[in-house]
Chain A
Amino acid sequence: MKALVWHGKEDIRCDTVTDPEIQDARDAIIKVTSCAICGSDLHLFHNFIPGMLPGDIMGHETMGEVVEVGSGVDGKLKKGDRIVVPFTIICGECDQCKRGNFSVCETTNRKRHLADKAFGHATAGLFGYTHLTGGYPGGQAEYLRVPFADATHIKVPSGIPDEQLLFLSDIFPTGWQAAAQCDIEPTDTVAIWGCGPVGQMAIRSAVLLGTNQVIAIDCLPERLSMAEAGGATTINFETESVLERLNDLTDGRGPEKCIDCVGMESHVMASLPDTLLDRAKQMVMAESDRPHVLREMIYVCRPGGIISVPGVYSGLSDMLPMGAFMNKGLTMRTGQTHVNRWTDDLLHRIEEGEIDPSFVITHTVPLEQGPEMYQVFRDKRDSCVKVVLKP
């Protein structure tokens, strides 16, 4: 089969690989009908997250049709079922899964000894996202083996196009969780840094959760225009002062809720010296993340507020203003997404026509063009916001 394979920094190729096989009774194999490139795939493209090996198949936003099931799937899936695959692999049986903390499932990371060393405790296995999270082959391919398939799936009805359902795998629940863990009140202002695909979903989620005002911060006109279409007031950080504008828009109080949809690769600008220093340190491996957004959020957030971090961080961040964070009594909520905690509700909202997540797609291309699209997406060429690949 064809698959997008990581060969090294900035080197992803469309290789021919052997087809996946059932390895365990709880496995299923799906024929992929649609998959997407996620912003967090770019961290792997840049080799900023350790634990990738040449030959790893990329991709964790995938859906398709079940073509084979293991004997232990126990009637929960059958051939021909149409499923979206959540990017977090879950067993559904461990203590964390029972609590709904699916992204920290205690069973599915098959290389937990690596994650135990890196993070103290292993988290769930993820598709196509380094050997720290199990080294599972990803879904940017013609076929995908879904481990623990009896739990790791979202069954979806026929009659709704792939484009509306695909993002249940990651970015829609990720944006939703980012907003939900802000405990939004009707009087709140929610400020969202980064108007990439997750930022766009977080904007819509904040609106659907009833916030008073959403403020979106980015520098790319196409993304700001999409944010505005979703109901946000926008700030272009290249031409405006984020601090001044946020204070203006909140009568000097600061936003009650702040969401970081940027993560470890924040924009580097000469007018923001901390970003230059972070980049220099990242280059010589003295720091793994560029946490400018976290610093800014802690500084601007209203005392007593909540900071939500769906953006991916990989390791060590320097110069976080812990004094401001502590004295302002802020709360920070983070984590990979507990996808299956949210998807029943979100699927219902899609079916009801309350939201159509396909608005974010700007490019749809065959899988073979995937390597080129990684570059287009990274370089923000052709006003690219979200790429869907068709195997």
Chain B
Amino acid sequence: MFHFSNIVRTKGDPKIVEGGPSLKRPVDQLARALGWFSIGLGVVELFAPRRVTETLGMEGHETMVRAFGVREIMAGIMSLSVEKNAGLWARVGGDGLDAAALLSGLTADNPKKGNIALALLAVGGIAMLDYRAAQDTKPRRPARDAPRKLYPNRSGFPKGIENARNAAKQIAAPDKA
């Protein structure tokens, strides 16, 4: 089987013949996809806020859209990092802000309220994915009060710690003299 990574191996070094199973779970892939989506959306909001507000009939709110863009990019970077859980929860919070902002534009006199309804639907769907991913990527570190094994007998000194201390003193004394 061809493995792309073998191209960069130094001649004579071991090359992959058959890949083993990955411990990455589908939810890790989902978190990664959401992270990149967040960054993509954030870039659009940051650099083309007028396109966004015109599509939604919410002209005049460009500054808020830019701020939301920065938030999306930050949450995206966090979702791609080792602390993806924090990034995903930040995205869930962001989804709430997005929904609130969209609802504020859902007025009878907005000619683009159909687009807002579609956007709300999309935010709802994405929020469900964000929530699911945030739930399933909880850190697996044991709780602080979880029972722990202790190692009070593992001194590492087969002849005892006092013996080790005394031996060190005997060596140190002539050195000093």
User: Interface extent on A, as a size class?
Assistant: 35 or more
Kindly provide the distance from the CB of B73 to the nearest chain A CB, expressed in whole angstroms: 9
Is there contact, CB below 8 Å, between A379 and B141? yes
Is there contact, CB below 8 Å, between B4 and A221? no
Whether A371 touches B23, Cβ cut-off 8 Å, given contacts A19-B14, A20-B14, is: yes
Is there contact, CB below 8 Å, between B164 and A54? no
Is there contact, CB below 8 Å, between B157 and A204? yes
Q: Does B167 contact A (CB under 8 A)?
A: yes
For residue A201, which residue of chain B has the nearest CB?
B156
In angstroms, Cα B147 to Cα A222, docked, is 10
Residue in contact with B156 in the complex, picked from A21, A200, A221, CB distance below 8 Å: A200
Which of A14, A141, A208, A385 has the most B CB atoms < 10 Å from its CB? A208
Is there contact, CB below 8 Å, between A207 and B18? no
Residues from chain B with Cβ under 8 Å of A230 in the complex: 154-157, 161
For residue A203, which residue of chain B has the nearest CB?
B156
Whether A229 touches B168, Cβ cut-off 8 Å, given contacts A16-B20, A53-B5, A380-B141, is: no
Q: B143-167 toward A: CB 8 Å interface, digit per residue (1/0)?
A: 0100011111111111101001101
Is there contact, CB below 8 Å, between B168 and A209? yes
For residue B169, which residue of chain A has the nearest CB?
A210
Q: Does A320 contact B (CB under 8 A)?
A: no
Is there contact, CB below 8 Å, between A208 and B23? no
Q: Does B15 contact A (CB under 8 A)?
A: yes
In angstroms, Cα B154 to Cα A380, docked, is 18
Q: Does A118 contact B (CB under 8 A)?
A: no
Is there contact, CB below 8 Å, between A359 and B156? yes
Residues from chain B with Cβ under 8 Å of A17 in the complex: 14-17
Is there contact, CB below 8 Å, between A381 and B15? no
Is there contact, CB below 8 Å, between A355 and B20? no
Is there contact, CB below 8 Å, between A53 and B157? no
In angstroms, Cα B154 to Cα A221, docked, is 14
Segment at the A interface, from B56-64, B77-85, B115-123: B77-85
Q: Does A15 contact B (CB under 8 A)?
A: yes
Residues from chain B with Cβ under 8 Å of A1 in the complex: 14
Q: A296-334 toward B: CB 8 Å interface, digit per residue (1/0)?
A: 000000000000000000000000000000000000000
Q: A52-84 toward B: CB 8 Å interface, digit per residue (1/0)?
A: 011101000000000000000000000000000
Q: Does B104 contact A (CB under 8 A)?
A: no
Q: Enumerate A229-249 residues with CB–CB distance to B below 8 Å.
A: 229-231, 238
In angstroms, Cα B30 to Cα A278, docked, is 27
Segment at the B interface, from A4-12, A94-102, A154-162, A336-344: A4-12
Which of A15, A225, A360 has the most B CB atoms < 10 Å from its CB? A15
In angstroms, Cα B175 to Cα A209, docked, is 12
Q: Does A253 contact B (CB under 8 A)?
A: no
Residue in contact with A354 in the complex, picked from B14, B141, B152, B164, CB distance below 8 Å: B164
In angstroms, Cα B161 to Cα A330, docked, is 31
For residue A238, which residue of chain B has the nearest CB?
B144
The total of Cβ contacts below 8 Å across the A-B interface reads 167
Q: Does A284 contact B (CB under 8 A)?
A: yes
Is there contact, CB below 8 Å, between A360 and B156? yes
Q: Does A121 contact B (CB under 8 A)?
A: no
Residue in contact with B164 in the complex, picked from A12, A55, A207, CB distance below 8 Å: A207
Residue in contact with B83 in the complex, picked from A15, A210, A283, CB distance below 8 Å: A283
Is there contact, CB below 8 Å, between B154 and A279? no
Interface residues of chain A: helix, strand, loop or mixed (majority): mixed
Is there contact, CB below 8 Å, between B161 and A207? yes
Residues from chain A with Cβ under 8 Å of B3 in the complex: 55
In angstroms, Cα B21 to Cα A228, docked, is 40
Residues from chain B with Cβ under 8 Å of A222 in the complex: 148-151
Q: Does A391 contact B (CB under 8 A)?
A: no
Whether A15 touches B19, Cβ cut-off 8 Å, given contacts A137-B14, A208-B168, A222-B148, is: yes
For residue A47, which residue of chain B has the nearest CB?
B82
In angstroms, Cα B86 to Cα A334, docked, is 34
In angstroms, Cα B22 to Cα A360, docked, is 28
Q: B90-132 toward A: CB 8 Å interface, digit per residue (1/0)?
A: 0000000000000000000000000000000000000000000
For residue B81, which residue of chain A has the nearest CB?
A283
Is there contact, CB below 8 Å, between B150 and A225? yes
Q: Does B26 contact A (CB under 8 A)?
A: no
In angstroms, Cα B16 to Cα A141, docked, is 12
Q: B1-40 toward A: CB 8 Å interface, digit per residue (1/0)?
A: 0011110111111111111111110001000000000000
In angstroms, Cα B13 to Cα A21, docked, is 7
Residues from chain B with Cβ under 8 Å of A46 in the complex: 82
Residue in contact with B142 in the complex, picked from A13, A16, A57, A380, CB distance below 8 Å: A380
Q: Which residues of A contact B (CB under 8 A)?
A: 1-3, 5, 7, 9-21, 23, 46, 53-55, 57, 110, 135, 137, 141, 145, 186, 200, 204, 207-210, 220-222, 225-226, 228-231, 238, 279, 283-284, 353-357, 359-360, 362, 371-372, 375, 379-383, 385
Q: Which residues of B contact A (CB under 8 A)?
A: 3-6, 8-24, 28, 74, 77-78, 81-83, 139-142, 144, 148-159, 161, 164-165, 167-169, 171-172, 176
13 new A-B contacts, CB < 8 A, other than A11-B23, A18-B17, A55-B8, are: A7-B22, A13-B19, A55-B15, A207-B157, A231-B164, A283-B77, A283-B78, A355-B156, A355-B157, A362-B151, A379-B139, A379-B140, A383-B149
